[in-house]
Chains A and B, each alone.
Chain A
Amino acid sequence: MNLKSMSMAAGVALLASTSLASAEGALNIYNWGNYISPDMIKKFEEKYSVKVTVTDYDSNDTALAKVRQGGTGFDVAMPSQTYVPIWIQEGLILETNPGGMENFKNVAPEWANPAFDPGRKYTVPWAWGTVGVVVNTDVYKGDINTWKIVFDTPEELKGKVNVVPEMNDVMHAAIKYVGGEQCTGDKEVLKKVRDVLVAAKPNWIAMEYNTIEKMGAGDFKATSDWNGSALRQRLKTPAIHYGYPVEGFQYWSDNVVVLKEAKNVDNAKLFQNFMMDPENAAMNSAFHRYANGIAGSEKFMPADMTTAPEVIVPEEFKKNGEILQTCAPEVTALYTKIWTELQK
């Protein structure tokens, strides 16, 4: 490196550091599609004079693979709780210590110290929800708070049930249904799981993601689904209701992390802090229709969300849920084999 290019580099570095100090410039967000409120982005941009760019990903695995390759130019991403420990372990995210940030006091107690990020050293709550069953109650009048809808389908729903093809979600539901523990590698349990799945499949009509439209049009009369999706279906078709399976259902949560390779670290930290403000979190929830884990945000949410049984888990069902954990690689390998067997 000669003197000229060295002084240039120093100049650029100086310029970059000053612009970071005043928190002006850019913020590149890598997020799930259709999952961030445009109004909230605008508010953030105006408040800190930062230009925000959002890029979509379609699955946790895509995001992980891409960020691991490096050179993405992204500052912030929203991995799910099962992936957060992997991101930490692989050294992909920066320890920004949100637990010490100004707005951390607003984080709801149940989300302040989660197992996937003890003490909130890396992550800020973005959205959380549940996975359960959605049923059109015009067709089926029985109890909908059970995985039987999917795994032991009632006569009225046979050939009309959809299953969202998320391997880990389906495996968790089936393991709970046969009475096992999540992430189990117990062959006895898995054998039951396999048998239940293979026996249940002939009653399913499809395995696809497009549930909102298909439940609305009546192609499906029941499906496994995420709660936010369920809420949107009920608002369109009042007979559609969401069930919390008594056998055990999962809580999931997506979280804001700052990448180690981030160029705009200060803006990213500001964004983490910004997301823990109840008003901002509520703006975001009003868009993506999930709860956010920030206490006090209910006050700013639209009325159809503050009373929605899809968003506010009814007290009687709370105990049946558990946060989905990261399963060991060798256990995932077993699940993949069962999954292939199911769909062969």
Chain B
Amino acid sequence: MATAAEIEKQAEAREVRNRWFLSAPALIIILLAASGPLLIVLFYSFLTPGPYGDVVWKFSTEGWVSVFLERDIFDDTLSFASAHLTIFWRSLKLALMATVATLVFGFPTAYFIATRPERTRDIWLFLITIPFWTNLLIRTFAVLQVIRNEGLINTALINLGIIDQPIQMLYTDFAIMVGMVYVYLPLMVLPLYASMEKLDFRLVEAGYDLYATRWQVLKRIIFPLVRPGVVAGSILVFIPAIGAYVTPSVLGGGKNMMFANLIELQFGQGRNWPLGAALSITVMAIVMVALLVYVRNTSGSEVRHG
């Protein structure tokens, strides 16, 4: 005969088992689909490149060394891998600029939507999500059609007699920025909107009643309250932007490598898989550290109400 305590113990054990069973699918997916491949990448970064791609099963740190150091092919001196750094810096700069630009355009957009009557907000949100239905590449080519020399803008300006020669917009940094902002804008607007929707607009009114200027209201009341949305939106834009290479190649002309191109080169024509693997892990580590610092610094200060 089982005592009450034993029955309770059994029930508890069953409970624990159930929890494991219920979380098993998620755990398996995280293990197999997220950690597994990463471990393989890490493992490959310590092997020797095969003569024509792939790897040879021999331990080597050469891949990691060549992430940071390069042997000059002409005078054989070992120096800091400045080419890798230049390319990384280009990707980083572009991602930061895209984040700031989407914030500049996304903030007023989200504010506008959040301040509409409740009935119409859904329509505005719906409009924001429409570009998501289309493939990234197609959206990028759409931008190309608008800004190219024979594109919409130049043709219109020439027909109106404002300019004689088309303005070269395609294959410039401007083109890359236009493309990135267009592609990533919804990722910024949606989390910003989610924060702003919860914003108590009576606080804004109270601010005005106390003779705050518009700028003060924005800076001291709205911005601190929607900060979680800004953080989430920035992260959502920054992460894909740093790995972006479709948009920069199509609109920027592909003359200058992005970090993703550099990695792709190692797995393709460069035939140096360990270096490619090491580069992938490096960029991931840097992004992770940067995000940790960013999140800690921005979410640390709690807003004081009242």
Contacts and interface: CB of A to CB of B under 8 A. Distances in A.
Interface stretch (A9-17, A95-103, A286-294, A332-340): A332-340
Contacts of A165: 254
Nearest to A159: B168
A65 B73 CA distance: 27
Given A333-B272, A338-B73, A340-B265, A206 B54 contact: no
A68 B56 CA distance: 13
Interface stretch (B96-104, B176-184, B256-264): B256-264
Given A218-B150, A336-B270, A61 B53 contact: yes
A339 B149 contact: no
A180 to B, nearest CB: 15
A329 interface: yes
A344 B261 CA distance: 10
A340 B73 contact: no
B51 interface: yes
Contact of B87 (A61, A207, A219, A344): A344
Interface string A78-101: 000000001000100000000000
A37 B301 CA distance: 65
Given A191-B74, A219-B170, A340 B254 contact: no
A205 B267 CA distance: 26
B53 A64 contact: yes
A206 B268 contact: no
B90 to A, nearest CB: 8
Interface in A299-344: 329, 332-334, 336-341, 343-344
Given A204-B255, A343-B256, A336 B52 contact: no
Contact of A208 (B148, B150, B254, B265): B254
A26 B255 CA distance: 43
B271 interface: yes
Contact of B54 (A65, A187, A333, A340): A65
A207 B253 contact: yes
Interface residues of B, number: 34
B60 interface: no
Interface residues of A, number: 37
A21 interface: no
B86 interface: yes
B155 to A, nearest CB: 12
Nearest to A165: B254
B171 interface: yes
B249 interface: yes
A62 B268 contact: yes
B197 interface: no
A208 B249 contact: yes
B127 interface: no
A206 B255 contact: yes
> Which of B150, B265, B267, B269 has the most CB atoms of chain A within a 10 A radius of its CB?
B269
B83 interface: yes
Given A187-B73, A208-B249, A329-B52, A343 B261 contact: yes
A341 B71 CA distance: 13
Contact of A218 (B84, B149, B256, B270): B149
A336 B269 contact: yes
Name, among A86, A219, A338, the residue most crowded by chain B CB atoms within 10 Å (CB to CB): A219
Contact of A336 (B170, B171, B272): B272
Contact of B53 (A65, A168, A190, A205): A65
A201 B255 CA distance: 8
A217 interface: yes
Interface of A: 59, 61-62, 64-65, 68, 86, 90, 162, 165-168, 187, 190-191, 201, 204-208, 217-219, 329, 332-334, 336-341, 343-344
13 contacts: A68-B54, A90-B52, A167-B265, A204-B255, A207-B255, A208-B249, A218-B149, A219-B148, A329-B271, A333-B271, A336-B270, A343-B256, A344-B83
Interface of B: 51-54, 70, 73-74, 82-84, 86-87, 148-150, 170-171, 249-250, 253-257, 261-262, 265-272
Given A336-B266, A336-B269, 13 more contacts: A59-B268, A59-B269, A61-B271, A90-B52, A168-B269, A205-B255, A207-B253, A207-B255, A217-B150, A219-B149, A333-B270, A340-B87, A344-B86
